[in-house]
Structure 1
Amino acid sequence: MGRFKTAFLKVLNRTLNPLTLRAAHSGRGPFSLVEHVGRRTGRTYEAPVILARVPEGFVTELTYGPDVNWYRNIVAGGGRVLYQGEWFPIVAVEPYAVRAGLRAFGPPASWVLRALRRREFRLLRVE
């Protein structure tokens, strides 16, 4: 990961993430949580994300790419999702087609994702 991207993610973690974590815990607004265990530390972490509900689980768009820790941790060891106040264990992570991902988010989110040329969708399959 580039130095600028790493620095940007650190700033986000210290400023915006605390606000979005509170919103996700409240069950209001667009934010959900992905709870994951660190690959090296064994510590439990929470990452705020925006998810789209689909029959097989949740769709997420990897805005910062597949190298972010929360994503790497759930691929390596699973985790769970807090969505609208309810916890769901993640049982698998799978690529998700761009068209299907945009459709899952629906307007206006899909318009923003399309304008930003977002193409890294993943399915978080849950029980």
Structure 2
Amino acid sequence: MRDTAMDSVRDLVRTFNKYVLNPAMLQLAGRKHWYASVIRHTGRKSGKSYVTPVVADPVSDGFVVPLPYGTGVDWVRNVLAAGRATITSAGSTYDVVAPEIIDATSAAALLSPRRRRGFRRLGIDKFLRVTLAK
């Protein structure tokens, strides 16, 4: 498939996830023994609070979140603009700060070999790294 065709497919999947899968995922995300986490963020224009299910891998000083839809999605832009968010993962809630976009090579150094392989197979090349607030 050409890039534009692949982009169209990715946009369709993203839209489906946003309106169908994400609301269902929020019922379990963030709970103990569940793979998905919840990120709480504030709208950069509206100031409204939002919740989004994500995969947030814990690292020594925070979390690394894969960005399968790239860096232009609203929740990522909101977190970057605010400079902070809250992540609920495995039943615990963490305030996080200093969000930064990192590439796959930088993320690989922080992730387990299993996670690196999985994200590489999915073609994920951008990640959000956040640090635990002190």
SS in 1 for 2:46: coil
1:122 counterpart = 2:134: no
| Uncovered stretches (5+) of structure 1, i.e. residues with no partner | none
1:14 to 19, 29, 51: 19
RMSD value over aligned CA atoms? Answer: 2.1
Aligned letter for 2:46?
Answer: T
| Residues 80 and 100, structure 2, Cα contact 8 Å, conserved in 1 | no
107-116 vs 4-13, greater mean Cα deviation: 4-13
Count of paired positions: 126
103-112 vs 9-18, greater mean Cα deviation: 103-112
**Identity of matched residues, %:** 26
Aligned letter for 2:93?
Answer: W
Equivalent residue number for residue 76 of structure 2: 71
Q: 1:69 to 1:113 in 2, by over 3 A?
A: same
Following superposition of structure 1 onto structure 2, how do residues 35-114 of structure 1 map, counting pairs within 5 Å? 35-77=40-82, 78-114=84-120
Aligned letter for 2:36?
Answer: F
TM-score normalised over the length of structure 2: 0.80
